Amino acid sequence: MNSEQSYPQFSFFKAPITNKIPVAKPATIPDIYRGITSIYYSDITLQFRALNDISERRKFKQTSLDFVTFAGTFSQRISTGLIDYSGYMCIDFDHVPADSFDQVKAFLIDSIPLLETQLLFRSPSADGLKWVIAVDVKTYSYELTYRGVVGYLNQNFPKFNEFVGCIDKSGKDVTRACFLCHDREAYVNPKYLLP
């Protein structure tokens, strides 16, 4: 990868979720892709997925998993702390049926040309997908843009909605945290892999 290449940035936070202050250096899509496909998050992801109790899982996730705000960079993770939009949005698909998982992933990568996939990876729970796309929030607010994307998916791809699981509505919040985990098979847009 060309080290001089400049990519949009967003904030990276060390666990726990109560941490409102990001690390000093913002992250990029290539940074997160390298992190989640390497062994860096493999042990903690295995620990999380070994938990069967829902409340234990929730507590572990909130206290132990690092996270990012794909929507932008923040001085602190509150709406008034937004420094700049990244041009990214993370759509969170929960409870994707296991027998449809590969089909959903392929569909998101190949079948929606207006919403170009930047990064796509399995959620910490392993039954969901984190779909990071490029968006323009210059005309409409982040929340309206999010609602527009969800409406576009519902309107234009009804068959997709039959097997996708559910879209997490909390993604409309610009400060929304996305927990990071290990996914050796994560997809990244090839433009980020150019030399």
Instruction: Report pLDDT digits (tens) over 136-169.
Output: 988 899 999 999 998 898 888 877 766 666 888 8
Whether residue 96 has pLDDT greater than 80: yes
pLDDT of residue 3: 46
Q: What is the mean pLDDT of residues 21-37?
A: 97
Whether residue 78 lies inside any domain: the answer is: yes
Task: Give the three-state DSSP class for 69.
Answer: strand
Which pTM was predicted?
A: 0.93
Structural domain span for residue 45: 11-189
Whether 194 is in a domain gets the answer no
- Average pLDDT rounded to a whole number, residues 3-17: 88
pLDDT of residue 21: 98
Instruction: Kindly indicate the confidence band of residue 50, based on its pLDDT and cuts at 50, 70 and 90.
Output: very high
pLDDT tier for residue 2 given thresholds of 50, 70 and 90: very low
Domain annotation covers residue 37: yes
Question: Worst-scoring range by mean pLDDT, 33-47, 59-73, 137-151?
Answer: 137-151
Q: Note the pLDDT of residue 167.
A: 85
Whether residue 104 is contained in a domain is answered as yes
Q: Is residue 59 part of a domain?
A: yes
Total tally of structural domains belonging to the chain: 1
In a domain, 4, yes or no: no
The answer to whether residue 1 is domain-embedded is no
DSSP states of 71-135 as a string? TEEESSSSGGGEEEE-SEEEEEEES--GGGHHHHHHHHHHS-TTS-EEEEEE-TTSS-EEEEEE-
Above 50 in pLDDT, residue 116?
yes
Q: For the chain, what is the mean pLDDT?
A: 92
**Residue 145 amino acid letter:** T
Asked if residue 163 belongs to a domain, the reply is: yes
- Answer for the pair 180, 65: CB distance below 8 angstroms, yes or no: yes
Which has more confidence, 192 or 158?
192
